[in-house]
C-alpha cells in the first residue's frame, strides 16, 4: 500500500502465473487469464484495506482489457482509490512495455459508494423460487455452461444444483472444503465462487447452446452486504432489454436460508463469435500511464518519436504504400501517418521557445522552508 503522485491510495501486486486465480482459470488454448470476478474481488479488497468496513456498492464496473499472465512469468498490477463525495473511484491497471518503456494500461474501473447498513434487503425464499424452476440438475462439482471454452481448476468446482424456470433460475454453490481458507485470507467476493454464481445463468439465454464463448462487459451495480460465505444460493433473472449478441441479468446472492449477501444489477455479457477474449487490442500511446520519473528520461524529441510511432502504419500497410509510391515515378516521396509540415512547425516552435527550469522564487514567508519528505508532500 502506498500513494500515487496525486495523493490517492495505491495498492500494488505482483501476480504470478502459478497463483490459483489465473492458473485455475485458463482458456482452452492454455492462456492463464484473470477472471472478471477477480477484478471485483480486488476492488473489494482495496476498499477494505483502506479501512472501510461498511456495506458498499460498486457502480458502472467496466472491463476494458483482458489481463493474461505468461506461464512462468508475472504481471505488475496497480489498484487506485481516488476519493469522491460518495466514496471512491476505483481503477485497476497492469504493466505493459510500450515505446521501449514500462507503463500501465487500464483494465477495469468502477465507482465505489458506501451503503447504509440499515438498508439491507429482506431475505429471499429459495423454496418458493425453486418451485417455479422445474428443470433441475444436481450433483457435486457440476460442469458449468462455459467449460467448452475455459479450463477451470478445482476451486471452480462449486456448482451443486441448477434449476431453470421461465426467465429465472436458482443455483446452489459451495466452495470445496479444501479451499475454505481462502475466505479468511482476505477474499471478500471469492472469484471462483462469484464467477459461477453469475456464469451459470447463461442457460437462461434463449437458444443458448454453449457453442459460443460469452465474455463479461460490465456490471451496472454490485451491492455487497457481507462477505461471500462457503455456501450460497444464486437467484438469477434474465433481463429483456439487451441488444442482439448481448445478455443482461439481475442476480441475488444469499445464504441457503435466504439472507442476502450481495445484489447484482445489469450484469452484461457479450457473445464472442470468433477469437479469444485473451486476445488484446493494440495499445495506443495515449492509453499508457507512466510514472513521472520514467517519462522524464525521454527528451522532447524522443517523446515525439514515441507518439508518432504509436500512430504509425503497420508493416503490411508500409510495404503496400512503398510499392504504390514507387509506381508514381516522382521524387521526393513522403509516406506518413501524420502531416510532416505540422511536425516540422512543432519542432521549430520548441526550438525557439525560451529555456525555463520550471521553477519559481519562494515568496517572503514567515516560516522556514522544509523540503518534502515523500511523494505525497
pLDDT tens digits along 253-277: 999 999 999 999 999 999 987 666 5
Whole-number CA gyration radius for the chain: 25
CA dihedral 97, 88, 192, 182 (to 10 degrees): 100
Partner residues linked to 106 by β-bridges? 93
pLDDT at 339: 73
Please give the grid coordinates belonging to residue 138: 444436481
**Separation CA 264–CA 253 (nearest Å):** 8
**Separation CA 179–CA 186 (nearest Å):** 13
pLDDT at 132: 97
pTM of the model: 0.76
Is 281's pLDDT higher than 60? yes
261 CB burial (10 A radius; 0-12, 13-18, 19+): buried
Contact 153, 196 (CB under 8 A): no
Contact 111, 58 (CB under 8 A): yes
Q: For the chain, how many helices (H) and strands (E)?
A: 8, 17
Q: Where are the domains of the chain?
A: 2-272, 292-352
Cβ-based neighbour number of residue 141 at 10 Å: 14
Lowest mean pLDDT among 47-51, 224-228, 242-246: 242-246
CA dihedral 151, 156, 161, 163 (to 10 degrees): -60
Answer whether the bond into residue 28 is a cis peptide, omega within 30°: no
Give the contacts of 167 (CB within 8 A, at least 6 positions apart). Answer: 204, 237, 238, 240
pLDDT at 219: 96
**Separation CA 275–CA 7 (nearest Å):** 40
CATH homologous superfamily of 2-272 equals Polyketide synthase dehydratase (3.10.129.110)
Model confidence over 209-220: pLDDT tens digits?
A: 778 888 899 999
Model confidence over 286-311: pLDDT tens digits?
A: 788 887 655 556 666 776 676 666 66
Contact 15, 34 (CB under 8 A): yes
Model confidence over 55-92: pLDDT tens digits?
A: 999 999 999 999 999 999 999 999 999 999 999 999 99
Contact 233, 227 (CB under 8 A): no
Amino acid at each position: 500500500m502506498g500513494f500515487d503522485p496525486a495523493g490517492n491510495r495505491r495498492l500494488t501486486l505482483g501476480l504470478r502465473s502459478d497463483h490459483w486465480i489465473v492458473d485455475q482459470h485458463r482458456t482452452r488454448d492454455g492462456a492463464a487469464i484473470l477472471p472478471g470476478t477477480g477484478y471485483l474481488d480486488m476492488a473489494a479488497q482495496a476498499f477494505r484495506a483502506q479501512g472501510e468496513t461498511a456495506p458498499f456498492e460498486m457502480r458502472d464496473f467496466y472491463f476494458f482489457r483482458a489481463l493474461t499472465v505468461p506461464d512462468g512469468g508475472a504481471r505488475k498490477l496497480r489498484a487506485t482509490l481516488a476519493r469522491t463525495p460518495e466514496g471512491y473511484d476505483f481503477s485497476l491497471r497492469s504493466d505493459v512495455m510500450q515505446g521501449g518503456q514500462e507503463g500501465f494500461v487500464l483494465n477495469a474501473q468502477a465507482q465505489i459508494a458506501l451503503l447504509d447498513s440499515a438498508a439491507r434487503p429482506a431475505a429471499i425464499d429459495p423454496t418458493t423460487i425453486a418451485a417455479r424452476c422445474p428443470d433441475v440438475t444436481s450433483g457435486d462439482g457440476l460442469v458449468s455452461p462455459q467449460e467448452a471454452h475455459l479450463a477451470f481448476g478445482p476451486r471452480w468446482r462449486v456448482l451443486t444444483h441448477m434449476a431453470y424456470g421461465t426467465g429465472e433460475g436458482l443455483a446452489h454453490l459451495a466452495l470445496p472444503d479444501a479451499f475454505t481458507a481462502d475466505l479468511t485470507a482476505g477474499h471478500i467476493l471469492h472469484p471462483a465462487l462469484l464467477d459461477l454464481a453469475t456464469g451459470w445463468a447463461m442457460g437462461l439465454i434463449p437458444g443458448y447452446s454453449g457453442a459460443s464463448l460469452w465474455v463479461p462487459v460490465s456490471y451496472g451495480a454490485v451491492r455487497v452486504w457481507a462477505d461471500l460465505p462457503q455456501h450460497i444460493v444464486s437467484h438469477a433473472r434474465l433481463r429483456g432489454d439487451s441488444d442482439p449478441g448481448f445478455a443482461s441479468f439481475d442476480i441475488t446472492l444469499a445464504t441457503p436460508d435466504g439472507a442476502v449477501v450481495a445484489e447484482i444489477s445489469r450484469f452484461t455479457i457479450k457473445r464472442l463469435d470468433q477469437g479469444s477474449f485473451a486476445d488484446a487490442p493494440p495499445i495506443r500511446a495515449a492509453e499508457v500511464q507512466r510514472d513521472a520519473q520514467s517519462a522524464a528520461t525521454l527528451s522532447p524529441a524522443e517523446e515525439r518519436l514515441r507518439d508518432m510511432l504509436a500512430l504509425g502504419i503497420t508493416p503490411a500497410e508500409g510495404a503496400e504504400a512503398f510499392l504504390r509510391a514507387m509506381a508514381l515515378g516522382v521524387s521526393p516521396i513522403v509516406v506518413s501517418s501524420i502531416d510532416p509540415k505540422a511536425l516540422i512547425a512543432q519542432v521549430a516552435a520548441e526550438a525557439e521557445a525560451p529555456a525555463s527550469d520550471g521553477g519559481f522564487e519562494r515568496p517572503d514567508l514567515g516560516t522556514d522552508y522544509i523540503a518534502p519528505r515523500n511523494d505525497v508532500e
